C-alpha cells in the first residue's frame, strides 16, 4: 500500500487506549477501498478511505460506541478553541450568539418553505439556538443531546430537552412533522439506523433536514476522530432513498476552514420527505 498523507500524530493521555473496529462500506458492504489520508491517535493509526465502487468515504477503523459516548457527553461541547483533537467542536459551540441566531433563522426559513409550524425534533442540538428560535416561531420542539450541560441550558430556557441519542429516544411513532440533524449524521456509527429511526418518528410526508459536510473525492482536509462517515451529494442521496426518503433539495450552506490544517470543506443542507412505502409507484 502506498504511503498516504498523515494529517497528525497525537497522544492525548486522558483518552487512553482507543478500541476500534474495521468497517465495511455503508453503501455496498465491501471493503475494497483507496486510502486517502491518515492520522495517528494514541499510537493507533486511522485512515480516511474511499470505496472503489460507489465513492462512499469513511473512517477506518472506527472507535467503538463507548468511546464516542464518552467523547460527546464529556469532552465535545466543552472543548476549547485550542483543543487539537476536537477543532470541529469549536465551530458552533464557540461562535458568537448573533451568528448562531442568524443561522437558526435561515434553517427555519428553509424548513417553513416545506412545512407549517408543528412538532419538531432536533437530535444533537448542541448550543440549542435552533430549538429556541423554532419555539419562538410557533413550533412545538423537543431536543436530544448527549451532553447534560446542553440539556440543562435548554431547561433553563424553558425548552423541552432530553439527554440521549436519537436511537435511544422512545418518542411516539409517526408523531413529528420535522426531524432535524445538523452536523450529526457524519458523527454516527450507524447513519442508516439514524435515518430509519427518524423515518419512524415522522408523520407521513414529514420532513427530515440534515446538515453535513459535502466531501470532495480526495477526502476531507482534516479527518478527525469525530467524523466517522464522509458523504457527498450523491452518497447521501443514495442512503436517504434506501431509508425511505425522497430528496427535495440539496444546498451548499457554509464553508468550513480548519485553522490547523490546510484546505476547506463545504457543508450542505439536505431537505427530504418521508415516502409512504405502501403506495405503489408507477
Ligand atoms: Zn461501496
User: What are 172-216's pLDDT values in tens digits?
Assistant: 999 999 999 999 999 999 999 999 999 999 999 999 999 999 999
Q: Map grid coordinates 493521555 to a residue.
A: 13
- The answer as to whether 91 is a domain residue is yes
- What separation in Å is there between the alpha carbon of 28 and the centre of ligand 1? 4
Other Cβ atoms within 10 Å of 68 Cβ, number = 20
- What separation in Å is there between the alpha carbon of 268 and the centre of ligand 1? 21
- The answer as to whether 282 is a domain residue is no
CATH number at residue 240: 3.40.50.150
Residue 176 confidence (pLDDT): 98
- What separation in Å is there between the alpha carbon of 275 and the centre of ligand 1? 24
Residue 21 confidence (pLDDT): 97
* Contact predicate 132/101, CB 8 Å: no
Which stretches of 94-173 are DSSP H helices?
Answer: 97-112, 129-136, 148-156
| Domains contained in the chain, number | 1
- The answer as to whether 280 is a domain residue is no
Residue 149 confidence (pLDDT): 92
- What separation in Å is there between the alpha carbon of 95 and the centre of ligand 1? 36
Which residue range(s) make up the domain with 179?
A: 5-274
What are the pLDDT digits (tens) for 222-233? Answer: 777 889 999 999
- What separation in Å is there between the alpha carbon of 216 and the centre of ligand 1? 16
- What separation in Å is there between the alpha carbon of 116 and the centre of ligand 1? 38
Which segments in the chain show pLDDT lower than 70?
Answer: 1-2, 77-95, 278-282
- The answer as to whether 265 is a domain residue is yes
Residue 84 confidence (pLDDT): 64
Amino acid at each position: 500500500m502506498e504511503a498516504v498523507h498523515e494529517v497528525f500524530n497525537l497522544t492525548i493521555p486522558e483518552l487512553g487506549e482507543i478500541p476500534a473496529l474495521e468497517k465495511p462500506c455503508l453503501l455496498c458492504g465491501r471493503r475494497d477501498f483507496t486510502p486517502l489520508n491518515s492520522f495517528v491517535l494514541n499510537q493507533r493509526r486511522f485512515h480516511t478511505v474511499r470505496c472503489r465502487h460507489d465513492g462512499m468515504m469513511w473512517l477506518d477503523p472506527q472507535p467503538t460506541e463507548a468511546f464516542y459516548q464518552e467523547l460527546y457527553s464529556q469532552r465535545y461541547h466543552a472543548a476549547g478553541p485550542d483543543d487539537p483533537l476536537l477543532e470541529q467542536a469549536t465551530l458552533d459551540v464557540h461562535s458568537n450568539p448573533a451568528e448562531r441566531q442568524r443561522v437558526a433563522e435561515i434553517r427555519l426559513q428553509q424548513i417553513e418553505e416545506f412545512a407549517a409550524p408543528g412538532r419538531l425534533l432536533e437530535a444533537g442540538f448542541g448550543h440549542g439556538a435552533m430549538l429556541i428560535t423554532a419555539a419562538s416561531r410557533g413550533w412545538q420542539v423537543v431536543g436530544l443531546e448527549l451532553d447534560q450541560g446542553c440539556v440543562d441550558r435548554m431547561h433553563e430556557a424553558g425548552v423541552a430537552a432530553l439527554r440521549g441519542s436519537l436511537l435511544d429516544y422512545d418518542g411516539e411513532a409517526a408523531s413529528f412533522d420535522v426531524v432535524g440533524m445538523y452536523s450529526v449524521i457524519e458523527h454516527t456509527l450507524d447513519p442508516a439506523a439514524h435515518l430509519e429511526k427518524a423515518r419512524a418518528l415522522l408523520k407521513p410526508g414529514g420532513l427530515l433536514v440534515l446538515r453535513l459536510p459535502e466531501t470532495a473525492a480526495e477526502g476531507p482536509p482534516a479527518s478527525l476522530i469525530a467524523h466517522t462517515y464522509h458523504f457527498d451529494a450523491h452518497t447521501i442521496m443514495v442512503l436517504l432513498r434506501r431509508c425511505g426518503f425522497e430528496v427535495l433539495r440539496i444546498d451548499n450552506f457554509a464553508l468550513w476552514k480548519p485553522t490547523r490544517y490546510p484546505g476547506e470543506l463545504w457543508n450542505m443542507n439536505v431537505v427530504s420527505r418521508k415516502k409512504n412505502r405502501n403506495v405503489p409507484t408507477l
